[in-house]
Amino acid sequence: MATQTTPTRESVHGLDAQGLAPTGIVYWNFVAPELVQAAIERREGTLADMGPFVAVTAPHTGRSPNDKFVVKETTTEADVDWGKVNQPIGEDKFELLLGDVRGYLNGLGELFVQDLYCGADRTHRLSVRYVTPNAWHANFVRNMFIRPDATELPTFNPNFTVLHAPEFQATPERHGTRTGTFIVLHLARRMILIGGTRYAGELKKAMFTVMNYLMPKAGVMSMHCSANVGDAGDVALFFGLSGTGKTTLSADPDRSLIGDDEHGWSDDGVFNYEGGCYAKVINLSREHEPDIYATTQMFGTILENVVLDHHRRVKFDDRSITENTRASYPLHYIRNHVPSGAGGHPRNVVFLTADAFGVLPPVARLTRDQAMYYFMSGYTAKVAGTERGVTEPQATFSSCFGAVFLVWHPTRYAEMLGQLIDRHGSRVWLVNTGWSGGAYGEGSRMKIAYTRAMVRAALGGRLDAVATFQDPIFGLHIPTAVPDVPSDVLNPRKTWKDGAAYDAQARKLADMFRKNFEKFGTVSDAIRGAGPKG
């Protein structure tokens, strides 16, 4: 086992500020080689061919949104949009859980601490201390967040703490949780407790939830999106739920990556919350996603829940553990990245959807009111067969393309985005990376080469002067021509063999949109009227 770090690499504050008094060894701010070595020696996982570390997190291979709670207390109570997403838990239960987690961590033989920043903009960033019993989880957060330089570590003073106890199980009767798994945020105390799950994504998304609360209070729009920038300094944002192509399309070899998932939009422009990427790698290929594929062949990358062959090479098409296989790697592993993690005000905003019903156009220009409508809707669709009992496409509506991470009411984020689009003249596009020529099971997934061509044309201004036609049901303005894309692909109705079947499917989806939008209550007539007409 690696030896304890020297005092010069350790914070002068120790762990007393976190209420911890460990009886074992504490390893402070280990770098990737030390963490990987420790993880291997502790049998936390294995090395794959070319050096990435592989961990299996079963039985939890994804987030546990139903086990996330927010402490309900007087200073933040009026701000939070309480409900299924932000489930309340009392301060008394939090104190019991905190005491038990502290006692558990104090009694372990080894702890790993990482002091990191969340937010590339120094004005708005948080200083976060992660405490975990696992070396590989420490390496995960080191990959995912912004690493202070050596001169900053001796005086690092955290203003947020995450206590991670993946093997500790809560007791629902005692702690007020639903199960043994828990993600509990105390916004006033600036503390997060995570336990009962080894899935590393909880460590990342819990902090995103925090930023979604704090940034709007500071006048910053908080966004579940990726961002890149062209040679001319033109920034583009890509909003989308998992599986819509957010990470893939932002990692464009002809543009520089600002970040792949979480950003703020301030008066100065866009900035990444993170210092790394967390990409889905199911069916990943060198041909279609060369930059992301390259990261999976690098030492320091963490691969979650992938399957290896007998040569320890990754079987990217193997779903036997989960379809939600992941790669965590530092941002600088992407060849074209922006070292500062920041850019100017977006010239283009892209909403991504994977429409498994096969009726939305592959690209459309949105009016300002349509932008607000589709942002608040946050639509994509699950395909048949991905979950037990799902036999046909199922619509998923996630407000602001990230409802499970929002803290304020969705209308607050939508109003902020609308104001920023107006102020900076950003163009907004809807891009369907889903099915064409029919729904899932009959049609086929839109070719990524076509989607890339459409996105590049939109970002490059080559669609600005192109004539459009309006979809009669959804009211979307669809370009009549896109360079390097067959014209018959652009009109979704014409890709179906049976036009009447398309019309019926489109009206079905339009009705789902309308029913979902009813939950927003009071919304301007202009925005409500920007939705489907048919």
Task: Write out the catalytic residue numbers.
Answer: 63, 205, 224, 242, 246-247, 261, 326
Biggest CA pair distance of the chain: 73
373/355 Cα distance (integer angstroms): 17
**Token code pair at residue 85:** 């997403």
Closest CA to 108 of 141, 140, 135: 135
CA angle 250, 251, 253 (to 5 degrees): 120
Q: Which region holds residue 425: left if phi is over 0, alpha if psi is between -120 and 50, else beta?
A: left
Burial 82-99 (b: 16+ CB within 10 A, else e): eeebbbebeeebbebbbe
Closest CA to 146 of 121, 180, 179: 121
The helix (run of H) or strand (run of E) holding residue 435 is strand 435-436
Cβ-contact 211, 264 below 8 angstroms? yes
365/477 Cα distance (integer angstroms): 5
- Amino acid at site 280: K
Sheet with 302-304, side-by-side order of all strands: 46-47, 53-55, 302-304, 326-330, 276-280
Cβ-contact 349, 371 below 8 angstroms? yes
Polymer length of the chain: 534
Beta strands in 377-517 (DSSP E): 379-382, 394-397, 427-432, 435-436, 444-445, 468-470, 477-479
Closest CA to 264 of 416, 149, 79: 416
**Token code pair at residue 23:** 């009886």
**Token code pair at residue 505:** 């499917």
Closest CA to 347 of 418, 270, 427: 427
375/398 Cα distance (integer angstroms): 9
448/503 Cα distance (integer angstroms): 25
| Cα within 13 Å of Cα(329), Cβ side | 28
129/349 Cα distance (integer angstroms): 33
Q: Is the bond into 154 cis (omega within 30 degrees of 0)?
A: no
**Token code pair at residue 234:** 């033109």
158/19 Cα distance (integer angstroms): 13
32/112 Cα distance (integer angstroms): 12
Closest CA to 28 of 13, 41, 11: 11
